[in-house]
Amino acid sequence: MAFISAARINVAAIQLSVTPLNGTAESITITDSLDGRSAVKSFLGQKGNDASSIYVSNHPNGLQNVSAWTVSTAKFSSSNTKSISPRSIVYPSDDTLTIGKEWEFELKSGQPITFHKFVGIASTDKFSNAQLIASQASRNATNDGWDVLLAEHTAIWNQRMERKVVDYRNPATGNLPINDTLAEVDQINAAVSRYMILQTLLGEDGSNLNDNGIGVGEITADPYGGMTFWDMDMDFPRYSSD
């Protein structure tokens, strides 16, 4: 399971659980990696690792003065494992922006291990000390733990997706009309459309993180490499004045 936190703008979290089921101990390898192939139209700033985290920074092509920092911290939950010291890796790709760390474990049959990955991210176009912000976001998320992050994230989405906002049910019965395929489709579309918009766009919260508008690729694409579409200042003068 993975999610980008709705409560913490600089945090994403991943959970993976593994349980051997064949009656014998199993040797497994768990890898935490930041795959540089996802960082298109950019070049390496710095990368490295310490006792608890891996990190990488990159610059958009042609913008040496802008840096994005990504920091990942891994955490394991199990009392029934024998771990080998972590080692640095560069695969799954040899891209200059790729960095990772892996661990080997001996697991007892039926005894699970849970892996958590807490990622902090920030860029200097919105955060003056992006490296510190990303590192603190990852560290604080790791300290608070998966359950806390998931609970606060879920609470925000429950509020955003209030039933009355996206509901085609009969208010008296709480049910959709029987055998009404169109109503079912409308209900699905209403919920999915609202979710897709809200999970992609930031609301007006005074944070100044949502002042770049929507690019030509619309909500889910980035063909302009993060740049603003050329005529947005004329179509949406309010944003160009910010």
When pLDDT is cut at 50, 70 and 90, the band that residue 234 belongs to is low
Beta bridge partners of 100: 33, 89
How many Å from the N-terminal Cα to the C-terminal Cα in the chain?
37
Choice among 84-98, 113-127, 225-239 with the minimum mean pLDDT:
225-239
Per-residue pLDDT at 9: 92
On whether the pTM is more than 0.85, the answer is no
Using the Cα atoms of residue 154, residue 159, residue 165 and residue 168 in order, give the sign of their dihedral.
Answer: positive
- Phi-psi region for residue 76, left (φ > 0), alpha (ψ -120 to 50) or beta? beta
**What whole-number distance in Å separates Cα of residue 204 and Cα of residue 211?**
9
pLDDT value for 134 = 98
Cβ pair 232, 199 in contact under 8 A: no
pLDDT tens string 49-76 = 888 899 999 998 988 999 999 999 999 8
The pLDDT-based confidence of 92 (bands split at 50, 70, 90) is low
Asked whether 74 and 88 are in contact (CB, 8 A), the reply is: no
Give the residue extent of every domain in the chain.
2-144, 161-200
Give mean pLDDT, residues 182-188. 87
CATH number of 2-144: 2.70.98.40
pLDDT tens digit string along 132-147?
999 999 999 999 999 9
**How high is the pLDDT of residue 224?**
54
- The predicted model gives 157-174 an average pLDDT of 80
**Tokens coding 46:** 């710095």
CA dihedral 41, 72, 103, 3 (to 10 degrees): -90
Strand partners, 116: 15, 75
CB-based contact 84:109 (threshold 8 Å): no
Residue 167 has pLDDT above 80, yes or no: no
Q: Which residues contact 152 (CB under 8 A, 6 or more apart)?
A: 5, 7, 8
**So what's the pLDDT on residue 71?**
97
* Mean pLDDT, all residues of the chain: 82
Q: Which residues contact 164 (CB under 8 A, 6 or more apart)?
A: none
pLDDT for residue 226 is more than 60: no
How do beta strands 113-123 and 81-83 pair? unpaired
Identify the pLDDT of residue 231: 57
